[in-house]
Amino acid sequence: MEQVSLYRKYRPHNFANLVGQDHIKTTLINALKTDHVAHAYLFTGPRGTGKTSSARLVARALNCTNLADDYEPCQTCDFCKDISDGRLIDLIEIDAASNRGIDEVRDLKEKINFAPSHAKYKVYIIDEVHMMTKEAFNALLKTLEEPPSHVYFILATTEVHKIPETIISRCQRFDFRRISQDDVSKRLQFIAKEEKIEVDPAALKIISKCVDGGLRDAIGLLEQLNFDGKVTLKKVQEVLGVSSLSLLEKMLSSLMQNNTEEALKVVHELHIQGSDLKQFMHEFVDILREKMLSSVSNGKLGETRRLIEMIDVFLDAQSRLYTSIPQLALEIAIIRISSDLESANPAKAVKQAAAAVPVAVAPTPVAPVAAAPTPVTPAPTTAAAPVTEKALSLTLETLKDKWPRITERIKTPSLRMSLKSTVPVKIDGHDVSLQFNTNFHHNNVMKNDHRVELEKLIKGFFDVNIKVLGIIKEVELKPLVEDEAPMPVPPPIDGPMVDQALEIFGGELME
């Protein structure tokens, strides 16, 4: 039992357990009821929101020999059991992101017309379908035009904009939503109870908030943060690098009371603790947003206006966080807010600021922070310079281009979190250097098993042996990795490995 991950164990085996996607649940059950199940579905939505689980549920419901009255799969017939154990031969799962994608679509083309060997229907689930090559899409399109009556397709993707319109138009599309914090939290509570894990509700709240609507990540974190049957707030804050709630609250109340000195003390404290300021700002803006929304609904006009001003200032500060003195942007934001609020007496805020920090800080209007926004790394010489042996084929550009894909496939949740704020900055021989904003994330990624996991994954993508090195950011770089940023078209690069990588991952697709 220990071997099965909690996520697998609590994957929904029936519609009732599918969390947060009621609109999809209802439509699918209706289709089953009226015998109008479409031959091709497109499930799109953020990672970890239940797309693949729902696809398996459809496969189950189509083949179950003993469907319940409410169209729930019985979970006891041969087919239900085979699907649970991942050995139903007529349920074909293709991971378009892995090297196997191409061969399997080829195989699909050859075998699609054969009747199912065992079950009533053949169900093809194609995961991360946006990664398929042009050729694979063409092959798929032909079969989607006239699918044999015994075949059902379920395509799943996190990036629907990369799928050709011709494919989309042949599928019935379902948009999976980010699961609400409340639903995530409830599910975690349920699992914790089943597993007899003692959890601090505040810890669950943080986990639910951090995962941005992805239940899979949430369950992964719960599992990872469980020590001796306990998930404590302290541990969660530590592992997730989350700012302490008390400092966030202190910052808010200081600013609301226009107490610049106290607010600056919070920055000082954050600095001493070595906290991730980027994370702190992110969380703080989130708190301001919540407060703004509630003040709007309470009709507090003055307060709303003030909060909007504060949000503006902090958002602006976020974009200037990358200076050699990271806390500077935050300090300036605080002072700006105080002086905005006290425009009648701007000198007071500055005086207070000077009292709190033994460094002279410029009053408003704030001059642009010294290190002007450095343009996104122009891939220095290292990228172009060929290196010897096998790593030769991997350039910095290619690696950066695939970076979001790579980090997305990291299995360990805390490692994935730490990699979010990281970018590869250099390839030298077999050494790949990553740049970190904070010690915390640096140490987390460089932990032996984490580093090995990352290295293995990179090897899986490019078939090169590399060693990951970490550097802590000194000078300025803008973050390259944006979660939902569209994947840029890779530049023409020579070399057989790159060609192969492009072919496999469909880099020049869809433009």
- Report the interface residues with Zn ion, using CB under 5 A: 64, 66, 73-74, 77, 80
In this complex, which beta carbon is closest to Zn ion, that of residue 26 or of residue 76? 76
Shortest CB 84 distance to Zn ion, Å = 10
Complex with Zn ion: residue 72 or 283, whichever CB lies closer? 72
Cα–Cα distance, 170 to 294 (Å, whole number): 43
Nearest distance from residue 75's CB to Zn ion, in Å?
6
CB of 486 to Zn ion, least distance (A): 41
Question: Phi and psi at residue 120, in whole multiples of 5°?
Answer: -70, -45
Query: How many residues would you count in the chain?
Result: 511
Structure tokens at 182: 């409340």
Nearest to Zn ion of 66, 273 (CB atom): 66
Residue 276 DSSP one-character state:
-
Closer to Zn ion at the Cβ: 73 or 214? Answer: 73
Measured distance CA(121)–CA(32) in Å, rounded: 14
Cα–Cα nearest to 62, from 139, 149, 133: 149
Q: HSE of 84 in the Cβ direction (CA atoms, 13 Å)?
A: 17
Helix axes 448-462, 396-408, angle to 10 degrees: 120
Which pair of tokens denotes residue 497? Answer: 């490995």
Q: Which two tokens stand for residue 383?
A: 């990228």
What is the phi-psi region of residue 361: left when phi exceeds 0, alpha when psi lies from -120 to 50, beta otherwise? Answer: beta
How near is the Cβ of 80 to Zn ion at its closest, in Å? 3
In terms of CB distance, is 73 or 506 closer to Zn ion?
Answer: 73
Nearest distance, CB of residue 508 and Zn ion, angstroms:
43
Least distance in Å: CB of 111 to Zn ion?
25
Report the residue number, 79 or 124, with the smaller CB distance to Zn ion: 79
What order of strands is seen across the sheet that includes strand 423-428? 423-428, 431-436, 467-472
Least distance from Zn ion to the Cβ atom of residue 50, Å:
20
Q: What is the DSSP letter of 390?
A: G
User: Which residue's CB is nearer to Zn ion, number 119 or number 263?
Assistant: 119
Q: How far apart are CA 188 and CA 198, in angstroms?
A: 11
